[in-house]
Structure 1
Amino acid sequence: MRTATGHRLDAAWQALRLWLGATVLPAQCALCGMGCPEVLCSPCRAQYLTQGRPRCRQCANPLDDAARLCGRCVRQRPAYDATVTAFDYAAPVDQLLLQLKFGARLALAPLLAELLYVAIRQQQAWEAPQLLCPVPLGPARLAERGFNQALEVARPLARLLDVPLQPRLALRVRETRAQSGVAPQERQANLAHAFAIAPEHGALLQGCHVGIVDDVMSSGHTVHALAAACKSAGATRVSILVVARTPPH
């Protein structure tokens, strides 16, 4: 059994780790390791993060042509109405998200928000949401990690878009297993009834266009479940703003 002193030391170390991740500027590029005064060097940004590609307007999966929707969204529309992503979740740029999420390198969050903002500005006929909502973590996962990576991206993104942020709009009312550890055929059931809208914020959603912010979108079940909760509470449109999209296999 851990002692009270042990728990205090763990808390102190967690606080120090988060402070370092949030305040210490990197002396080298987060991808190639080359010395540079910014989080990402210009050559890596140009090589890995400036190549646009056609995507489904609803789920942001890559398309081979200029079609507006992929076959999956045509057959079965998800609860959300549009998705914008900055890049595919693939090597080497996936390291930016892994360093943020599992390395507590919070200084990467503004960079990721900026990349997402650039992708949003490139959308034709872009409809700005009226408020932003980060995908919430459950209490146990939040206590373990010490921060919500979706919220860390949503804060600077809200400033760039000049859209109000409501970090406590949605609640994760049921602890779920990480989707990455769940079989594909079980992922939708894993998130059933996982989200609810905070009662004190329910009035904000009446007739509202909500932007849901997350770090990575894979199967889409997480944002689908949260979008469905928003629409059940009165939202009329939900846009997904996600840093990276896992390409279909």
Structure 2
Amino acid sequence: MKKLMSKSALVTGASRGIGRSIALRLAKDGAVVAVHYGSNAAAAEDTVREIRAGGGTAFAVGADLSSIEGIHTLFEALDASLLEHTGSNRLDIIVNNAGIGQTLPIEETTEQSLDEVMNLHLKAPLFIIQQALPRLNDEGRIINISSAVTRIAFPGLLAYSVSKGAVNTLTHVLAQHLGNRRITVNAILPGIIDTEMNAGMLQNPDGQSFAAGLSTLGRWGQPEDVADIAAFLASPDSRWITGQLLDASGGSRL
């Protein structure tokens, strides 16, 4: 039996990369999946088509998550589509994955560049969760995508790292806050994953050697490596795990 049958899930940034793989995997496990996208509607619809071709149920919702107005837009569209597909606007699973890459050391960091990553990596998950709580069923699952850069120092990723560190704190605090509803809150901390964000590095031999050399397993990660962890955290099997930061870096720099 599929472990997520009758469950509904929102995956932000699900048109490509890690988010796409998570959406595909949750749908494979039986969830009705809202595939959020920021700007690439065509890619989101491709994800939806692939899910439907595999016998799953999904729909796309577009919204700019960098502002509270965009988050309100997200939930207006989400409520309508969930009602259409499930008969209710209730949610069971939230995966906060939407994000951007930013390579800047402290000397080049500006107020604008800091706001850019903080708005999408921290403010968006916080207010998405806030707006979702009245819709989220008890025993629900919140999964935040953080990063191994909160454990491994990369000075060229300063603001990005700080924003993901804030996600870790958000995860910890909300796990305590929502425990009385048996809602679990956990974060996944990927290392270098083969996505568009890391394409520049992984397209040249030096970058490939660096990425593979970080992990004790001798390779860089694939989106499916993270999606499988998210599927476990979304399932009933993870019921006794909350407030945790799950390193998904293949043992990078142990």
Q: Same fold (TM over 0.5)?
A: no
Q: Which has more helix, going by share of residues?
A: 2
Q: Normalising by structure 2, report the TM-score.
A: 0.33
Structure having the higher Rg: 1
